[in-house]
Structure 1
Amino acid sequence: MNRPRPPIKQVRTAVGLLSLLLFAQTAFWLVYDMADRGPTGAWALWSSASGSGLAATTSLDLGLAALQLAAGWAALAQLRGAGGLLVVSCAATVAFRMPVVWYMFLDSPSDPWFGTLRGPSVTAVGTTCLLAVAAALVLAVLLLLERRLEAEARAAADLADGGIVRPAKVTAAASGALVAVLNVFYITRNAVTAVQVGPSTLTDLLVGRGTGRSVLGVSSPWQWTVLTVLCGMGMLVAFRRRPVATGMSLGLALLMMPPAFSELWGYLVTETVAQTATDVTQNLLELVGSAAVVALILSDGLRDRQERRLTPIPHPRAEDPTPDTDPTPDGDSTPDGDSTPDGDSTPDADSTPEARSPLASTDA
Structure 2
Amino acid sequence: MNRPRTTIKQMRTAVGVLSLLLFAQTAFWLVYDIADRGPLGAWELWSSGSGSGLAATTSLDLGLAALQLAAGWAALARLRGVGGLLVVSCVSTVAFRLPVVWYMVLDSPSDPWFGALRGPSLTAVGVTCLLAVAVALVLGVLLLRGRRLEAEARAAADLADGGAGRPAKVTAAASSALVAVLNVFYITRNAVTAVQVGPGALTDLLVGRGTGRSVLGVSSPWQWTCLTVLCGMGMLLAGRRRPVATGVSLGLALLMMPPAFSELWGYLVAQTVPQTAVDVTQNLLELVGSAAVVALIVTDGLRDRQERRLAPTPDPRPEDPTPDEDSAAGTRGTLASTDA
TM-score (norm 2): 0.94
Aligned match of 2:89: 89
More helix by share: 2
Aligned match of 2:284: 284
* Alpha-carbon distance, 1:205 to partner: 0.3
Change in Cα spacing, 1:274 to 1:152, as seen in structure 2 (3 Å) is same
Aligned match of 1:116: 116
Q: Deviations over 1:206-239 (max 9, x none)?
A: 0000111000000000000000000000000000
CA distance, structure 1, for counterparts of residue 293 and residue 61 of structure 2: 21
CA distance, structure 1, for counterparts of residue 39 and residue 276 of structure 2: 26
Residue pair 1:165, 1:361 contacting (<8 A) in 2 also: no
CA distance, structure 1, for counterparts of residue 72 and residue 24 of structure 2: 11
CA distance, structure 1, for counterparts of residue 84 and residue 45 of structure 2: 31
* Superposition pairs of residues 198-237 of structure 1, within 5 angstroms: 198-237=198-237
Change in Cα spacing, 1:297 to 1:22, as seen in structure 2 (3 Å) is same
* Superposition pairs of residues 1-364 of structure 1, within 5 angstroms: 4-271=4-271, 275-315=275-315, 355=328, 356-360=330-334, 362-364=336-338
Residue pair 1:82, 1:358 contacting (<8 A) in 2 also: no
Q: Deviations over 1:310-358 (max 9, x none)?
A: 2232446xxxxxxxxxxxxxxxxxxxxxxxxxxxxx969x999983523
Residue pair 1:193, 1:202 contacting (<8 A) in 2 also: yes
User: Could you list the runs of 5+ residues in structure 1 that have no partner in the other structure?
Assistant: 317-345
CA distance, structure 2, for counterparts of residue 248 and residue 186 of structure 1: 18
Change in Cα spacing, 1:237 to 1:137, as seen in structure 2 (3 Å) is same
Residue pair 1:273, 1:280 contacting (<8 A) in 2 also: no
Matched residue SS, 2:86: helix
Amino acid at match of 2:166: R
**Root-mean-square deviation over aligned CA pairs:** 2.0
Matched residue SS, 2:198: helix
Matched residue SS, 2:5: coil
CA distance, structure 1, for counterparts of residue 59 and residue 73 of structure 2: 22
Q: Deviations over 1:251-287 (max 9, x none)?
A: 0000000000000000013437885211111000000
Residue pair 1:2, 1:153 contacting (<8 A) in 2 also: no
Structure with more contact order per residue of length (Cα contacts < 8 Å, sep ≥ 6): 2
Count of aligned pairs: 334
CA distance, structure 1, for counterparts of residue 171 and residue 271 of structure 2: 35
Residue pair 2:177, 2:235 contacting (<8 A) in 1 also: yes
Q: Deviations over 1:137-195 (max 9, x none)?
A: 00000000100000000111222543231111110000000000000000000000000
CA distance, structure 2, for counterparts of residue 233 and residue 6 of structure 1: 31
* Alpha-carbon distance, 1:3 to partner: 7.4
Amino acid at match of 1:128: T
Matched residue SS, 1:6: helix
Matched residue SS, 1:360: coil
TM-score (norm 1): 0.88
Change in Cα spacing, 1:352 to 1:136, as seen in structure 2 (3 Å) is closer
CA distance, structure 2, for counterparts of residue 54 and residue 269 of structure 1: 24
CA distance, structure 1, for counterparts of residue 258 and residue 52 of structure 2: 23
Residue pair 2:164, 2:333 contacting (<8 A) in 1 also: no
CA distance, structure 2, for counterparts of residue 36 and residue 272 of structure 1: 21
Amino acid at match of 2:278: T
Aligned match of 1:343: none
Residue pair 1:2, 1:156 contacting (<8 A) in 2 also: no
CA distance, structure 1, for counterparts of residue 140 and residue 318 of structure 2: 41
User: Could you list the runs of 5+ residues in structure 2 that have no partner in the other structure?
Assistant: none
- Structure with the greater alpha carbon radius of gyration: 1
CA distance, structure 2, for counterparts of residue 214 and residue 115 of structure 1: 12
* Alpha-carbon distance, 1:359 to partner: 3.1
Change in Cα spacing, 1:173 to 1:99, as seen in structure 2 (3 Å) is same
Residue pair 1:186, 1:228 contacting (<8 A) in 2 also: yes
CA distance, structure 2, for counterparts of residue 361 and residue 253 of structure 1: 19
Amino acid at match of 1:9: K
* Alpha-carbon distance, 1:73 to partner: 0.1
Amino acid at match of 2:337: D
